[in-house]
Amino acid sequence: MNGYELKQKMEAGGIVYGTMLSMSRNPRWGGAMSNFGLDYVVIDTEHSPRGRDDVADFLAAFNFSGVVPIVRVPIPDSHYITMALDAGAHGILAPYCETVEEAKEVVAAAKWRPLKGAQVRKIIDDGEFPSEATKSYLENRNRNSICIVGIESVPAIENLDNILQVQGIDAIFVGPNDLSISLGIPDQYDHPDYEAALREVLRICKAHNVPTLFHHQTVDLSTKWLREGARFVLYSSDARTMHNGFRNEFGRIQAVGAELGGGDVGDMGESDEVI
């Protein structure tokens, strides 16, 4: 699958599945991820210490994996977006957008690179291209590019209807940790205010026919919001999933060891990763 095919699946009403890569760095992970049944991965560069070389090598591996690689850039800035796409990403996730101007900059870089400056602003504002040949060329060059905008605060939700007037946004991302902090209820994902905020995002996005990603860290939360309409599923991360796997499987082995007199082993607990 490539970025264009992922978009086509969404437009046809399908559900796509992916995870966040916060820790994996070695390109060999691309081959491993291809066996997990994922449609896409989001390679984080907002909170994870990855350099440009690391991302480029990682993307080269994913481009042969059949899993669509999307890069979460550090900020909604055209410079970071074009770097990720030039390195081989099939899409970008621009975090913490709150204004129409930020959304325009993100879309301009994600959908119409390498055009810049006044001419790309004419495309975004007026749909005016230098020529039909330029339009066709840029559409083909950016065919795989997926543009995801992060809505992660109360002001962003209040402005979401205006933000979605910008043509070219393929999906809306919500970071639950950031949003819950903005709402004044940190990490309270069963709080009525948090649930109301997500339902408002779903309502507005549905009106614009734009899918949503809610980046939850538990199966219960992910399936709850899948049932409510978040069909672009972004679940957990590589670090948290590995933590849970070791906790569950070694927990069972260690329980037997304790029965055989090997000593008690404490539960390692939940992952404390926040991403």
Q: Is 243 a catalytic residue?
A: no
Where is 214: in which H helix or E strand? strand 212-214
What are phi and psi for residue 141, nearest 5 degrees?
-65, -35
CA torsion sign, 181 to 186 to 187 to 189?
negative
Whether the Cβ atoms of residue 142 and residue 111 lie closer than 8 Å to each other: yes
Catalytic residue among 47, 90, 216, 243: 47
> In degrees, to the nearest 5, what angle opens at C-alpha 49 toward C-alphas 7 and 19?
35
Can you tell me which residue has the tokens 């301009």? 108
Whether the Cβ atoms of residue 149 and residue 169 lie closer than 8 Å to each other: yes
Biggest alpha carbon distance in the chain? 78
Can you tell me which residue has the tokens 């309502």? 203
Whether the Cβ atoms of residue 78 and residue 120 lie closer than 8 Å to each other: no
Whether the Cβ atoms of residue 238 and residue 43 lie closer than 8 Å to each other: no
Strand order through the sheet with 171-174: 212-214, 171-174, 146-150, 91-94, 68-72, 40-44, 16-21, 232-237
Q: Which residues have a catalytic role annotated?
A: 47
